[in-house]
Each structure stands twice: as structure tokens, then as C-alpha cells.
Chains A and B, each alone.
Chain A
């Protein structure tokens, strides 16, 4: 694979990880209240 492709995959991995954490935080906030950002790391 080319270097560019590795970078794209790394970006996708970070985006996926962050999205997963944000989803759970959003669901928790919907049920209990809270902000999407701030406080904990995501």
C-alpha cells in the first residue's frame, strides 16, 4: 500500500474510534442528561 493509503486508513480508524465513543456518550446524555463535549476525553 502507498503511504497515502496508510494515512487514510489511520484517519478512518481515529474517526471510527471517536464516533463510537461519541455515540455512547450521546445515548447516555439522551437518557441521563449531559453535554456531548467537555469533561472526559469524549
Chain B
């Protein structure tokens, strides 16, 4: 009896540990640890007056190329937490491929400020010329860029690509990322209690979208649909046709943090625009894309394929 309990307990612990320690073989190559062999790094460069207006630049070892591609990767954190250092492995991987890579911080929403997705997206827009300037000052001539991110960072990346990309300091040729909210239709946001059917749902939608958009939105505006104009500046899906950029995205069908239904609107907009895009749906996963390793690997391989296609190195 005792040995049976011991065996079960040890096997249980091994099962738990294996979930954390064993990474699928096909994904290990993206797990790059920063080192001088990859290049050099300039941290906490300023792009504005805000405390959070800082970016890190990862410069590849080979600085002899006539021109380089820039990949900006924006951090996750629900617009309220996170830091550019969270993406060190992703930025290191991009730099190891020969790209100038940049992680940009933006002012996070707190109880004590009025930061919104709109102000954050505008900060990102203001950062881009400074990032390019810093790369040029370091001796890397930037001739094109990609903008990417995870979750909140993915939302900001898409907003930049589709809404602001036409004004970018260099052409935006690709956007990629995962689980970023791209539209704000109240009926899609049921995971936050929002909707259009009941007063309670409309009130929840109005409160949520007010915070996110930085515009005061009332339950009445949710009811008559006029709120859509107020959330448009932060709804990336609404901007795809404004500046269609080749896109690679991934979403989890059971996401509890951002509405999976919104990703369908993004796909419809991408379809309508005729732009080259790939959409990966992870049917067993949520916000962490945690239960579909095979599809996750295919998504990352496609990101790499699109980087090679639209931003060939050398």
C-alpha cells in the first residue's frame, strides 16, 4: 500500500514537472538566450517624455550589410502590466536571424492615470521614428520593418501596421503576433460580461470600452451602435483596408482574456482586403495557445517563412 502511494506521488510530481520542463523539440530553436555572440544591445533609449517611453535595441553582429530590416516586438500584459524585457528571448531570436530588433515600453493603464489603448497606440506611433533613428545612429541602415507582439502588444502592433503604417518612417511590410484583440463589438465581449441584449451587458460594455478607448461611452451608445465610431481608432480590424500589410496571426478558440469572436472579424477584414495573410486557429487552446503545440510550431514556422519572404536578410 505504502509503496503504491509513493509510486503514484512520484509519478504525479514527474507529470507536473514535465509540463513545465519539457518543451516540444520543434519549438526549442525559438528559445534563444541573449549573448554577445548574437550582437550588441542598447537598453532604455528614450523616445518621449513619459517615464515609460523607453525602448531596447538589439543590434545583430553583422553590421556590414547595406541595409537591415527592423522588427519591433511589443510586450503583452493586458495593457496594464508587462515590460519589454519580458520578450528578451523573442527579440534575441529575431536578432540572431540578422534583424535589428526592438522592444518598446508604453504607459500602462493604472488606477491613477488615463492611459488607454488609444494613448498607448499613439505612443508606439511616436516611438517608431526614434527607433529607426537610433538604429541608423548605431550604423544600421533600416529600409523596411515588421511590427509584432503578443496579446495587448499584438493589438498595438496591428493598430500600428494598419492604421499608422502608411506614415511609418520606413515601409511596414509585415505584421505578426498572437491573441491580440482587433475589434470591439460589444456582442463579442461576453467573456467580460459585455453585450447588447440587457442593461447589465450594455453597462459592462460601456465601462470596458470607455477605459480601452479613452472616450466616454454610454450604455445608450452601446444600444444604438454609435459607440463603434468611438472605438474605431483602436479597432485594428477596421483599419486593415486602410493599409493592408501581410499578416500572420494565431488565436485560441477558448480564449478567456480576449474574445475569440473578434478574430473572426479580423479574418473577414483580411479576406476582404486581399492581402497575403495566414491565420492559425488553435482549437484546444486559450489565451496562452498552450494546448496545441503542433499548430503553434506551424505558426512560428510560418512567421519565419514570412520574415524570409518580406524581409530577407542580406
Please give the residue numbers on chain A whose beta carbons come within 8 Å of chain B beta carbons, in ascending order. 8-9, 12-25, 28-29, 31-35, 37-40
Q: Determine whether the beta carbon of B16 is less than 8 Å from that of A25.
A: no
Contacts of B257 on A, CB cut-off 8 Å? 32-33
Contacts of B85 on A, CB cut-off 8 Å? none
Q: Interface with A: B45-53, B193-201, B288-296, which one?
A: B288-296
Q: Determine whether the beta carbon of B8 is less than 8 Å from that of A13.
A: yes
> How far in angstroms is the closest Cβ of chain B from A22?
8
Interface size on B, residues (CB 8 A): 34
In Å, the complex CA distance between A40 and B14 comes to 17
Interface string of B1-28 (1 = CB under 8 A from A): 0011001111111111111100000000
In Å, the complex CA distance between A7 and B293 comes to 32
Most buried by A among B7, B255, B293: B7
Question: Across the A-B interface, how many residue pairs have beta carbons closer than 8 Å?
Answer: 111
Report B53-100 residues with CB < 8 Å from chain A CB.
none
Q: Determine whether the beta carbon of B19 is less than 8 Å from that of A21.
A: yes
Contacts of A21 on B, CB cut-off 8 Å? 15-16, 18-19
Interface string of B250-286 (1 = CB under 8 A from A): 0010111100000000000000000000000011111
> How far in angstroms is the closest Cβ of chain A from B13?
6
B141: CB under 8 A from chain A?
no
Q: Determine whether the beta carbon of A20 is less than 8 Å from that of B15.
A: yes
Can you sample 23 A-B contacts with CB below 8 Å? A8-B4, A9-B3, A9-B4, A13-B8, A16-B14, A17-B15, A20-B12, A20-B13, A20-B15, A20-B16, A20-B18, A21-B18, A23-B16, A24-B16, A28-B288, A29-B254, A32-B252, A33-B285, A33-B287, A35-B254, A35-B291, A38-B291, A40-B294
Q: Determine whether the beta carbon of B287 is less than 8 Å from that of A16.
A: no
Q: Determine whether the beta carbon of B292 is less than 8 Å from that of A40.
A: yes
Contacts of A15 on B, CB cut-off 8 Å? 8, 11
Contacts of A25 on B, CB cut-off 8 Å? 19, 290-291
> How far in angstroms is the closest Cβ of chain B from A40?
5
Q: Known contacts A20-B15, A29-B254; can you find 7 more A-B pairs with CB under 8 A?
A: A8-B4, A16-B8, A20-B13, A20-B18, A28-B290, A34-B284, A40-B293
Residue of A whose beta carbon sits closest to that of B282: A39
> How far in angstroms is the closest Cβ of chain B from A7?
12
Q: Determine whether the beta carbon of B14 is less than 8 Å from that of A17.
A: yes
Contacts of B3 on A, CB cut-off 8 Å? 9
Contacts of A29 on B, CB cut-off 8 Å? 254, 286, 291
Contacts of B12 on A, CB cut-off 8 Å? 16-17, 19-20, 23
Instruction: Say yes or no: A9-B7 contact (C-beta < 8 A), given A20-B13, A33-B287, A40-B291.
Output: yes
In Å, the complex CA distance between A18 and B13 comes to 10
Most buried by B among A25, A28, A29, A39: A39
Contacts of B15 on A, CB cut-off 8 Å? 16-24
Among all A-B residue pairs, the 3 with the closest Cβ atoms: A20-B15, A33-B286, A16-B11
Q: Determine whether the beta carbon of B284 is less than 8 Å from that of A35.
A: yes
In Å, the complex CA distance between A16 and B10 comes to 8
> How far in angstroms is the closest Cβ of chain B from A38?
4
Q: Determine whether the beta carbon of B256 is less than 8 Å from that of A31.
A: yes
Q: Determine whether the beta carbon of A39 is less than 8 Å from that of B11.
A: no
Contacts of B283 on A, CB cut-off 8 Å? 35, 38-39
Contacts of A14 on B, CB cut-off 8 Å? 11
